[in-house]
Amino acid sequence: MKQEEFKDFSENLSVNYAEDKIRAGLWDKEDALDQARFDMLHLLPKGVMTKDHLLWNVCNEDDEKVGTLWVLEEKDTYFIYDIMIFEAFQNQGYGSELLRVLEEKARDEGISEIELHVFGHNKRALHVYENMGFEAIDINMRKRL
């Protein structure tokens, strides 16, 4: 990803992240977008040049941008902060293929684990991650009364 693309990436991710936090009942709607933007500035203060953070555009075989990927490289672990396949390209195998490519890159770089967080309401992503061999390592649960 190029630095000039970062502003749009950051804003789109902030909006989506705020919506997920609201849907999960973790943030109030009034403050969610501001909090998400704050988190983005804190995590990526230098945009695509932030140390140990890897931001990629995901392209198909026709070199058409189909999504984005944000990964933190820490010791021998990749932590996926965000994987986004744009709506028009979902359910076409791009997410699974992206995870396969990331896994291959990780092995080539000596990375031994890939971790991520997924919201419980994101059933589509959960399905993809489970099919790709990811296992739950910590589960928070809630019952609304």
Using alpha carbons, select from 131, 74, 123, 122 the residue that is nearest to residue 97: 131
pLDDT digits (tens, 9 = 90+) for 74-125: 999 999 999 999 999 999 999 999 999 999 999 999 999 999 999 989 999 9
Q: 118 and 136 in contact (C-beta within 8 Å)? A: no
Domain membership of residue 89 as a residue range: 52-134
Same domain, 126 and 68: yes
Domain total of the chain: 2
Rounded Cα gap, residues 50 and 129, in angstroms: 26
pTM reported for the whole predicted model: 0.91
Instruction: Looking at the structure, tell me whether residues 93 and 23 fall in a common domain.
Output: no
Q: Which two tokens stand for residue 112?
A: 């031994």
Cβ atoms within 10 Å of 112's Cβ, excluding its own: 11
C-alpha 86/C-alpha 105 separation (Å) is 22
Please give the single-letter amino acid code of residue 142: R
Radius of gyration of the chain (CA): 16
* CB 68, CB 24: distance < 8 Å: no
The verdict on residue 143 lying in a domain is: no
42 in a structural domain: yes
* pLDDT at site 7: 96
Question: Residue 43: pLDDT above 90?
Answer: yes
